[in-house]
């Protein structure tokens, strides 16, 4: 597709979204909820055919993809339920008080209004849950915002198939086509054109730091800048303290190996840095982790360019750290494990780059203070996991506070891969893990991104709905 044709296609899609914007913003809860539930139903009804297409394009396997459809349908229905509970129509009312300020005031009603058409950039690694009908689309639709989906080049046939199913649902419910539109085959330049389109009022993005920050800059360079909700990846440090390792190191090693290689390591929450303290339990754990990783084979990565990116990032880390393991190669790359000390890690930015694949760096610290310095050097991250920080001690309190400063989610058990869709979830974090650390892209609070508060002063009752 030429640039002229791509821009024309974007213009047409955005124009339809703009035409539907007022209708969808003013639509009833029941109409929005019915659409979300019907989209979930149609995904499940066509699950078998969709999984075949998705596996051909992504190599993620039918079991993983079937589970992802279940998650996507679950969150579509969840947003419908959350919408019915009043999430998009919360009001705060302060009645008028006679007299002069500060005690006196007019009547004020704080309401939430849909922000307008949203450009949604699909992710490569979740072809259902972060794509055409994924969480960003579901949350924006629930908020009353039309969505223009930028299909991902890693699964174009699947994107078209899912969108066509969604379009049939819109037709069946007699809804405007512009409530959900799709832009196919758009280049990076066309993606920038979409972000800067004057009728787009917000952007939701899940992807790489490089691509996300480029689009974020374009969103802020517009004549009228717009919110850019970008989730840009993360290295997700996991701190394994001796207390945890002495109790159950073998099971923890097995669990961590599975998390590192899940989906060929192509998860934004994949643990990429393992922070440990010197000691016998740590040395035993490192051997157990290496042994657990050795026989594991990964499937092919999502795209050749991702494989190239992983190999390059791994080679850079290998130049600055000790290589402990290069495991068994399968259809995908062999798992890798590297080791360095805390001071080297803090001093070398190359060791803090994300390896988007089945690899991690073990960082050995001398004490808990040094562990905190390691976390501080990482900066913003989606998750930090703290194994063994369960006792209420001053040292653990300090460690948790540090983890909270740099993370959107802090775990005390388990591994960060697997992000539950619920009201309490937070999937975001300080820069550079996301561009809007006060928001989440997973969970029902995600729809708050696409609602703008308005205070109505002395308004008639009909205007306060």
pLDDT digits (tens, 9 = 90+) for 328-367: 888 999 999 999 999 999 999 999 989 999 999 999 999 9
pLDDT tens per residue, range 48-103: 999 999 999 999 999 999 999 999 999 999 999 999 999 999 999 999 999 999 99
Q: In degrees, to the nearest 5, what angle opens at C-alpha 327 toward C-alphas 308 and 311?
A: 10
Q: Check pLDDT > 90 for residue 186.
A: no
What is the pLDDT, as a whole number, of residue 1? 61
Average the pLDDT over 202-226 and give the result.
96
Domains of the chain: 3-232+434-464 (3.40.605.10), 237-411 (3.40.309.10)
Average the pLDDT over 251-258 and give the result.
97
268 catalytic residue (yes or no): yes
Provide the phi-psi class of 447: left if phi over 0, else alpha when psi is between -120 and 50, else beta. Answer: alpha
What is the pLDDT, as a whole number, of residue 65? 97
Q: In degrees, to the nearest 5, what angle opens at C-alpha 324 toward C-alphas 319 and 330?
A: 95
Structure confidence at residue 233 as a pLDDT band (50, 70, 90): confident
Q: How do 407-411 and 451-457 pair as beta strands?
A: unpaired
pLDDT tens per residue, range 436-465: 999 999 999 999 999 999 999 999 999 988
Contact between 300 and 323 under an 8 Å Cβ cutoff? The reply is no
**Omega before 344 within 30 of 0, i.e. cis:** no
What is the pLDDT, as a whole number, of residue 126? 95
Q: In degrees, to the nearest 5, what angle opens at C-alpha 63 toward C-alphas 62 and 64?
A: 95
Q: Check pLDDT > 80 for residue 176.
A: yes
Share of the chain above pLDDT 70, in %: 100
What is the pLDDT, as a whole number, of residue 188? 78
Structure confidence at residue 259 as a pLDDT band (50, 70, 90): very high
Structure confidence at residue 391 as a pLDDT band (50, 70, 90): very high
Q: What is the arrangement of strands in the sheet containing 108-114, beginning at the earlier edge strand?
A: 92-94, 108-114, 451-457
221 catalytic residue (yes or no): no
Q: What is the pTM of this model?
A: 0.95
Q: What CA–CA distances, in Å, run from 160 to 52, 102, 157, 261, 381?
A: 14, 57, 5, 29, 33
* Residues with Cβ within 8 Å of residue 268, at least 6 apart in sequence: 125, 206, 231, 233, 234, 382
pLDDT tens per residue, range 297-317: 999 999 899 999 999 999 999
What is the pLDDT, as a whole number, of residue 92? 96
* Residues with Cβ within 8 Å of residue 217, at least 6 apart in sequence: none
What is the pLDDT, as a whole number, of residue 329? 87
* Residues with Cβ within 8 Å of residue 326, at least 6 apart in sequence: 334, 335, 336
Contact between 240 and 252 under an 8 Å Cβ cutoff? The reply is yes
What is the pLDDT, as a whole number, of residue 178? 98
Which candidate in 264, 268, 364, 370 is catalytic? 268
The string of DSSP codes covering 223-286 is SS---EEEE-----EEEE-HHHHHHHHHHHHHHHHHHHHGGGG--TT---EEEEESSHHHHHHH
Which candidate in 68, 231, 370, 372 is catalytic? 231
Contact between 241 and 389 under an 8 Å Cβ cutoff? The reply is yes
Average the pLDDT over 176-181 and give the result.
98
């Amino acid at each position: 597709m030429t640039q002229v044709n791509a821009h024309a296609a974007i213009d047409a899609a955005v124009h339809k979204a703009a035409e539907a914007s007022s209708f969808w913003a003013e639509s009833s809860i029941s109409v929005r909820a019915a659409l979300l539930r019907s989209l979930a139903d149609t995904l499940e009804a066509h699950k078998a055919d969709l999984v075949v297409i998705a596996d051909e394009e992504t190599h993620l396997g039918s079991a993983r993809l079937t589970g992802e459809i279940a998650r996507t349908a679950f969150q579509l229905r969840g947003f419908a339920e959350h919408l019915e509970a009043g999430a998009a129509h919360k009001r705060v009312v302060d009645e008028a008080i006679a007299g002069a300020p500060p005690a006196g005031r007019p009547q004020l009603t704080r309401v939430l209004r849909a922000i307008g058409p949203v450009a949604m950039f699909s992710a490569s690694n979740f072809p259902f849950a972060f794509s055409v009908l994924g969480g960003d689309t579901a949350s924006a639709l629930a908020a009353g915002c039309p969505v223009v989906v930028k299909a991902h080049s890693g699964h174009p046939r699947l994107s078209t198939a899912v969108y066509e199913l969604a379009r049939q649902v819109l037709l069946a419910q007699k809804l405007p086509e512009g409530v959900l539109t799709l832009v196919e085959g758009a280049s990076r330049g066309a993606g920038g054109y979409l972000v800067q389109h004057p009728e787009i009022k917000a952007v939701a993005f899940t992807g790489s730091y490089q691509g996300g920050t480029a689009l974020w800059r374009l969103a802020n360079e517009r004549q009228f800048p717009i919110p850019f909700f970008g989730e840009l990846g993360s290295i997700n440090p996991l701190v394994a303290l001796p207390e945890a390792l002495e109790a159950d190191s073998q099971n923890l090693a097995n669990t961590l190996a599975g998390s590192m290689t899940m989906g060929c390591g192509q998860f934004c929450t994949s643990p990429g840095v393992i922070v440990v303290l010197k000691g016998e339990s740590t040395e035993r754990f490192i051997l157990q982790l290496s042994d657990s990783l050795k026989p594991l084979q990964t499937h092919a990565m999502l795209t050749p360019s991702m494989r190239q990116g992983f190999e390059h990032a791994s080679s850079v880390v290998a130049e600055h750290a000790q290589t402990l393991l290069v495991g068994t190669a399968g259809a995908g790359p062999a798992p890798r494990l590297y080791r360095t000390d805390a001071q080297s890690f803090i001093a070398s930015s190359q060791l803090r780059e994300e390896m988007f694949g089945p690899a991690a760096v073990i960082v050995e610290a001398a004490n808990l203070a040094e562990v905190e310095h390691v976390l501080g050097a990482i900066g913003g991250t989606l998750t930090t996991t703290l194994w063994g920080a369960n006792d209420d001690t001053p040292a653990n309190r300090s460690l948790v506070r540090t983890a909270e400063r740099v993370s959107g989610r802090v775990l005390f058990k388990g591994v960060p891969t697997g992000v539950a869709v619920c009201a309490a979830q937070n999937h975001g974090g300080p820069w550079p893990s996301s561009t809007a650390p006060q928001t989440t892209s997973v969970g029902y609070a995600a729809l708050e991104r696409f609602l703008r508060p308005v205070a109505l002063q002395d308004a008639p009752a009909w205007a306060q709905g």
